Structure 1
């Protein structure tokens, strides 16, 4: 009896997963600047008003190498903790004065003992007190629907049909450059122009 229930439960979960994936449509996002040039590393986040961030205890890392933050733009969900390993032969002093997250990792080499948690959605600009040319960005979202564009200004998200609002952001902006509402019905292409 238990084996039959287990098989039925697995089959039910498989059917639910298949029906949910059948509803998901590929949404192609094309992001350009005001002059029509594709924008790399732009962040686009979709919100349906009911689906929160789904990975609140995630971990990530942003490496310092060749006196640069790598990657330069990172997207994480609220609750994610990020470590900042220093792979350079010089020490770094990583900080942020951004309202979404203020923190400071004083002069260090190697890997800091504790990762930094990012609990609030928003833009976090990173700098190094020793190397002024080092700039990086963390875009913290409270949704599971987000992506970063490639060098052609393109990315693809899977979204179920329905009503969404979306935000688009370009590195260097303090807040989203575009905020719009949209209805998704099947596979579609969305063109976004950032100021």
Structure 2
């Protein structure tokens, strides 16, 4: 009985002690007491050495198919390349000179036929004594004047036919032992140089375009035909009768034909011409000594 009571009393004491003891912390957060002294880490046993495995050839991984990603570009991608601006001209006149296109130049080609009137004869190659010149209705280039000489010898003029540019001066030199009096009564181009003794000379400027007939007041048989050409567009016909005038201005004008043995002829023309020109000339005078000085390039 005594033993039983003592056991019961011990159990009660034990229960009282448990009820007075402080509560235990939660199991998920144990409280570790701080170490007061570094403790050595337990030795780790080395891993066992396994036998080397046989090499296995690695198969290449299949290439992943990926959609191309567009390259990123800046917001302003369009670049416009513009030529550097031309420097501004110094003044308005210079700007006009730069902007104005060069005037167009044209040409005319053709053929001249020489025919002989009754009692006359045309020699081979005589077409080369023919001049063709173009006079524009407006504008065009004028011929450059020059200085030329005509001699009076054996009571004749030498040459007997002369072609010179408008404004040219002709010097008449007397090579005979007799006096001569050179003059002209051509309307609009009349002149009189007076008497010239042997060895004397006199000048005259021809300032009217066209044919000027010159004579000697002492010897009425002496005659000189002077063709005064007002244009720089002049060409001498070839021995085959062909000719080409170049550098002509566009627009209307007149094409003139002159041979010292025939009357002068002309054709109206508008450039550019659509076809070649053909002209027939009938000679009515004997052949003359000729000097064609009017041929020039504009």
Q: What 5-or-longer segments of structure 2 have no aligned partner?
A: 1-102, 283-298
**8 A Cα contact 2:184 2:215, kept in partner:** yes
1:132 maps to 2:220: yes
**8 A Cα contact 1:100 1:122, kept in partner:** no
CA distance in 2 between counterparts of 1:153 and 1:139 reads 23
Report the alpha carbon displacement of residue 193 of structure 1 after superposing the two structures with TM: 1.3
CA, structure 1 residues 61+31, in 2 after alignment: closer, same or farther (shift >3 Å)? farther
Structure with larger RCO (C-alpha < 8 A, sep 6+) = 1
Task: Give a deviation string over 1:135-194, Cα, whole Å, max 9, x none.
Answer: 1111112101224557x5847454136555211234477x73333326467xx9643113
CA, structure 1 residues 138+183, in 2 after alignment: closer, same or farther (shift >3 Å)? same
1:30 maps to 2:112: yes
1:112 equivalent among 186, 201, 206? 201
1:86-97 maps to which residues of 2 (within 5 A)? 86-97=174-185
CA distance in 2 between counterparts of 1:153 and 1:68 reads 30
1:181 equivalent among 248, 264, 269? 269
Q: What's the C-alpha RMSD, in Å, of the aligned pairs?
A: 3.5
Structure ranking higher in strand proportion: 1
Q: What 5-or-longer segments of structure 1 have no aligned partner?
A: 1-19
| Number of residue pairs the alignment of both structures matches | 170
What corresponds to 1:76 in structure 2?
A: 164
TM-score, normalised via structure 1 length? 0.67
Larger radius of gyration: 2
TM-score, normalised via structure 2 length? 0.47
